[in-house]
Homo-oligomer: A and B are copies of this chain.
Amino acid sequence: MEIEKYMAEAKQQVDCCLDELLAKEAQEPPTIHRAMRYSVFAGGKRVRPILVLAAGESVGGARRVLLPLACAIEMIHTYSLIHDDLPALDNDDLRRGVPTCHKVFGEAMAILAGDSLMTRCYQILTELPDVSGATRLAIVREISYATGTIDGMIGGQVVDLESEGKDIGPETLEYIHRAKTGALLAACARCGGLAGAADTRQMEALSAYGRSIGLAFQIVDDILDVTSSTKDLGKTAGKDQKMKKATYPALYGVEASRRKARELTNAAIETAREIGPRAEPLLGIAQFILRRTA
């Protein structure tokens, strides 16, 4: 299995499906639909939707059925990026190498574009074709908790913001990473499993896999912020240190952080192997997350 080929093909299908699921730019009112599309198509690697596909397919789900779910989760991820980049939060001008939503459309439209992408995500989840009503409801529940204030994405973002410039311990750092990035990545694996009708044992494996790669992903993100250039990264490099953000390299050093990311990746790969031969892309995705350079 060539993971690069798998990911490239999946990305193309995700982009195509995102285009279908987002209102056209001409749809009234056009500004908000332009802003939503701008940020969704501003060059993401589509790690989350590809993870949904690979998790769902690992338990026998059909790609056609998994694609709208994958795209809905990419929309909620994009909402979080748009709001995180706002001047009142991380105040970032660049994301994925292009100007952030508020730099192009203004703050008001960026706030509303974020709100709209979260809302559109829930619209899509209630209408997933060929997924039972009970499963759709379970998926809405999964996503809403993964992005919520208690051990979810917003909770992690709040603690991250409040930790700037403070000395925080390993426990707080792990909370931030698990909640801010890990919870949604784990939900990708779990939702793929739900839509693919995974059994209890498979759901447990997918949850463990998701938790491991979720934390690995954020540790690699921290390392890249220290070791990469703004050009390579597509967003402002060295920003964590400048903002005095708590990171793995700051707490443990780059080498120990790399070791931790490798351990988590190996654990994820072991867990994915338990699911069986159809889980091979999950192994490749774990490797990709470890080795990525942007």
Listed in ascending order, the chain A residues whose CB lies under 8 Å from chain B are 23, 27-29, 31-33, 36, 79, 83, 86, 88-89, 106-109, 111-112, 114-116, 118-120, 122-123, 125-127, 133-134, 136-138, 140-141, 143-145, 147-150, 152, 154-155, 157-159, 161-162
Contact = CB atoms under 8 A, between A and B. Distances in A.
A112 B32 contact: no
A107 B127 contact: no
Given A29-B162, A32-B149, A123 B111 contact: no
B137 A133 contact: yes
Nearest to A146: B119
A292 to B, nearest CB: 27
A144 B161 contact: no
When A and B form their complex, which 9 residue pairs have the shortest distance between CB atoms, in order from nearest?
A88-B107, A126-B141, A122-B144, A123-B144, A88-B108, A29-B158, A32-B158, A116-B149, A119-B148
Contacts of A79: 115
A83 B109 contact: no
A119 B134 contact: no
A137 B126 contact: yes
Given A115-B83, A140-B122, A23 B108 contact: no
A29 B161 CA distance: 11
6 contacts: A29-B158, A33-B149, A119-B147, A126-B140, A126-B144, A140-B140
A166 B131 CA distance: 46
A149 B23 contact: yes
Given A127-B141, A155-B29, A120 B149 contact: yes
A142 to B, nearest CB: 9
B154 A116 contact: yes
A145 B112 CA distance: 15
Given A115-B154, A119-B154, 9 more contacts: A28-B155, A32-B158, A83-B115, A89-B108, A116-B148, A119-B148, A123-B145, A126-B140, A137-B140
A108 B27 contact: no
Contacts of A118: 115, 118-119
A29, A134, A155, A162: most-surrounded residue (chain B CB, <10 A): A29
A112 to B, nearest CB: 6
A55 to B, nearest CB: 21
